[in-house]
Structure 1
């Protein structure tokens, strides 16, 4: 597992008005502890406001982000995924990341954005419920998996009630934790299992 503090390729966290700030905190906190730099990316560098009222100043504009420079692109849910086309450029960027072999993780409404962009047509995936994605008119319904989170190659998807499972898949994909340590991490943060803490402590994980 990677728990050092050596700077690594950045993890890009997309931020936009109405983004669901609670959905990515487990992932970004533990990636940062493992030495990944978290860089926020907006449509521009103008401040945005999360669904929880947090004002965020993006580090970078989406146009200045290159897939080959990063370790991962995280797309949180947001009301805007379902109420406008404003976030379509982020789904387009996700396609570029995947084409370059750089992982993408999408949760909640961001999965619908990827569906509209055709990125789920041939990949196993999940979301809130199957009919939520079916409403987008996408062609990937046969690849929908009714579970907490799914990883298919370089793509992670999860529904809005599964931020811990979403983080678990990201931490596995980037090799931060694996095996019994990853299982213990999940049991601690998802199930409040006190025995899991002892496993993490013995492994030097936090």
Structure 2
């Protein structure tokens, strides 16, 4: 069973997680016979958090409850509160994930948290545009590895800008291998263009049990 841990913190940017967690949790476009994943929200404390959009989320578990394995994934959303030292524990956990070969996805403000920890100093990554990481992470040394794209996949690390949520989701789903390749391409084409022909192409790629 693949476990997706989603870190939650106050001012979490709701839209950045929407595509990836809805598809992974629902499994509605998974290929035939693909096992559903277990999605768990995790935080530094048991208290509920309030997202940027005003939603209240109660964490399923704490950082100490995370089981780090090759079949685990850690998703780190953007937020305005990443500079709080209490979030250091989840970045240390992210480093463990990466060292083991497990997947870590970080978007928007979460990329600053990785940069502060030195994780982006020697591997390809992106963020909210050139100069953004230098502005918010004085110790950042990864300029030569920065790629100015909405989302960048580097083995088991997936980084994205605040506008890269859709491509980020596509790359994460592709890495997990839970969609057929033609399903994923049609899914991405539909949500990036809105053209109805891509929706019908998407439906044609699905097993009949998923298309109801």
TM-score, length basis structure 2: 0.88
Q: Tell me how far 1:69 sits from its aligned partner.
A: 7.5
1:103 corresponds in structure 2 to 103
SS in 1 for 2:59: coil
Asked if the contact 1:151–1:169 (Cα under 8 Å) also holds between the matched residues in 2, the reply is: yes
Asked if the contact 1:10–1:69 (Cα under 8 Å) also holds between the matched residues in 2, the reply is: no
Distance 2:115 2:161 in 1: 13
Distance 1:16 1:45 in 2: 11
Distance 1:178 1:96 in 2: 29
Structure 2's unaligned 5+ residue stretches are 28-35
Alignment of 1:154-193 (within 5 A): 154-177=156-179, 179-193=181-195
Distance 1:43 1:10 in 2: 18
Structure 1's unaligned 5+ residue stretches are 1-7
2:19 corresponds in structure 1 to 26
Alignment of 1:26-175 (within 5 A): 26-34=19-27, 35-68=36-69, 70-81=71-82, 83-135=83-135, 136=137, 137-175=139-177
Distance 1:33 1:47 in 2: 23
TM-score, length basis structure 1: 0.90
- The CA RMSD over aligned residues, in Å, is 1.6
Distance 1:191 1:99 in 2: 37
Q: Tell me how far 1:66 sits from its aligned partner.
A: 2.2
My pick for the range that moved more, 71-80 or 171-180, is 171-180
1:17 corresponds in structure 2 to 10
Residues 46/165 of structure 1: CA separation in 2 closer, same or farther (3 Å cut): same
Residues 57/70 of structure 1: CA separation in 2 closer, same or farther (3 Å cut): farther
Q: Tell me how far 1:181 sits from its aligned partner.
A: 2.6
1:4 corresponds in structure 2 to none
Asked if the contact 1:47–1:55 (Cα under 8 Å) also holds between the matched residues in 2, the reply is: yes
